Amino acid sequence: MTRVVPNSHTELMQGSASALKNNILTADESPILMDLFDSVVVQLSGTFVGTVIFECSNDGISWNACALIPVAGGAAATSATAAGHWYGTVPTVYFRIRVSAYTSGTRTATVLLTTQPIVGLLNSISATITGNVAHDAVDSGNPVKIGGHARAADLVAVGNADRVDARFDLLGKQVIVALGVRAQMVQSALTLTTTTETTLFAAAGAGVYVDPSWIMFTNTSGSAVMVDIRPATAGTVLLSVIVPAGQTLFVDFSDVPMLQPVANGNWTAQLSAAITDLRILAAGVKRTA
């Protein structure tokens, strides 16, 4: 044993599997006591054909594989077949390196024991941090990322209870308003003089709803008239407004637009009587769900 620096200690272990007691690679054929230490850095060297396993135990009798991280990069491993360095925290009382498969050669293991944070022993660590659940996958755990898609249109609808990416416009501003991005907004203007049912908003396509957000009525005639608004030609009347002669009425649905019951339908407006001139200006938003 050689004292290296305060709060650390090294163990040198070597041998061929045929000369080891119970195939345990240690200095004196006994496991390493970890009661004063938290972490290990294992260096394997020598010419060796075979496999060694990193193992942990609290009683020195029952042993389990102990995962260590390759310093060269990659996933944590419980065994090694080539020379290299591995590091990690050992949460148990004992640690050992066991030869599980042997063909030839001599393997030398130098183990640094330390109470210092294991990251402090390394010059650098390359790491990639990602969220644990992808967009449109069934949600689990806790969200990590706050980034999202820059979109000029809505994303494809996901399944119920799935996690979704946040949505931003093309300038990086997060979409938090009820009406969505500008490209999804629609506007319409028409003038009515007869009682013919007339399209206010055209159908937006398969699976797409148009939800009116406000409608403005201007009656330039000399008599009042009632206007019926339907979510489809000859459909159920959802809104009826009486517009006095010579006046303008503004109907604002605020943050909750008037909802279209069925996708890919046109909205219509119809007068209760023929008049000289009634003008309608309306705005809405296209939605896929």
Tell me: domain 8-121, CATH 2.60.120, correct?
Answer: yes
Return all residues near 217 (Cβ < 8 A) that are at least 6 apart.
227, 241, 243, 248, 249, 250, 251, 278, 279, 280
Q: How far apart are CA 229 and CA 235, in angstroms?
A: 9
The conformational region for residue 120 under phi > 0 = left, psi -120 to 50 = alpha, else beta, is: alpha
Say what the pLDDT of residue 16 is: 46
Averaged pLDDT in 10-residue chunks for the chain of 289 residues: 45 49 59 86 86 91 92 90 90 88 81 72 58 75 70 81 84 73 88 97 94 96 96 96 97 88 96 96 90
Here the tokens at position 146 are 């706050």
Say what the pLDDT of residue 119 is: 56
Say what the pLDDT of residue 206 is: 94
Q: Could you tell me the residue ranges of all domains in the chain?
A: 8-121, 129-176, 182-287
Tell me 156's DSSP state.
Answer: P
CATH fold of the domain at 182-287: Jelly Rolls (2.60.120)
Where is 80: in which H helix or E strand?
A: strand 79-80
Say what the pLDDT of residue 173 is: 82
Same fold, 8-121 and 182-287: yes
Here the tokens at position 34 are 């970890």
Q: How far apart are CA 186 and CA 260, in angstroms?
A: 14
For residue 157, the tally of other CB atoms under 10 A from its CB is 13
Say what the pLDDT of residue 211 is: 94
